[in-house]
Every structure is written in structure tokens, then in C-alpha cells.
Amino acid sequence: MKQQEKVLQDLLKFSQTELKNIKIRFNQYNGKYHPIDLFCKNKDTINNQWFLWRTKKRCFQPGQIALCLVKLSREEWLLTTIKKITKRLDIQDAVGYEAE
């Protein structure tokens, strides 16, 4: 078991089966905004826009458990939400997924 999987299992109590279906998105400074600043102003900006945004590359598939982490410092990350991806939308450069 990888160290990251062990941490997820210990902290969040995911089963071995669930671990195989987890995807993590690491949100960090994009050259214009620090996501922690946006999160402090409005959680939805990170948890529903940044997190579920899609460019050309697809990050998630329906049925996956997705974790959103925001960078606080070089070695610290804040878990802001956990969602199950329910639908992949046929768009890019916008929110590209539905999740619950």
C-alpha cells in the first residue's frame, strides 16, 4: 500500500475498494489567484468551480470519489470537500462535472 493510500485509509476511513476509485485534485496558485484566499471568501468558488473545472484534459469519471485539496504552504494542504462524480458534462473551459 502506498503511503498516500494509508493516510487516506487512516484519516478518512476509506476501504481498500474505495481507495481504488478515489481521485484527488490539488488546487494551488494559478498565476492570478491563491485558492485559499478564494476559499475563505466563498467556499463554493473552490468546491464547485475550481474543483470541478475542466479544460481539455478530463480529471474525473462518473462514479469516482473526488477529494479537493487546497495548498496552504509547501507541505500543508487543506481538504475542502469530498464529492462523488455523478455526471461528466460535454464541455470544456467550464465546470465539466456534476457531483454530490
Looking at the domain assignment, is residue 95 inside a domain? yes
Looking at the domain assignment, is residue 39 inside a domain? yes
The whole-model pTM stands at 0.86
Per-residue model confidence as pLDDT tens digits over 73-86: 988 999 999 999 99
* Burial of 82 (C-beta count, 10 Å sphere; 0-12/13-18/19+): middle
Task: State yes or no: pLDDT of 1 exceeds 80.
Answer: no
Looking at the domain assignment, is residue 12 inside a domain? no
Host domain of residue 53: 22-99
Domain count, the chain: 1
Per-residue model confidence as pLDDT tens digits over 63-73: 999 999 999 99
Residues in the chain: 100
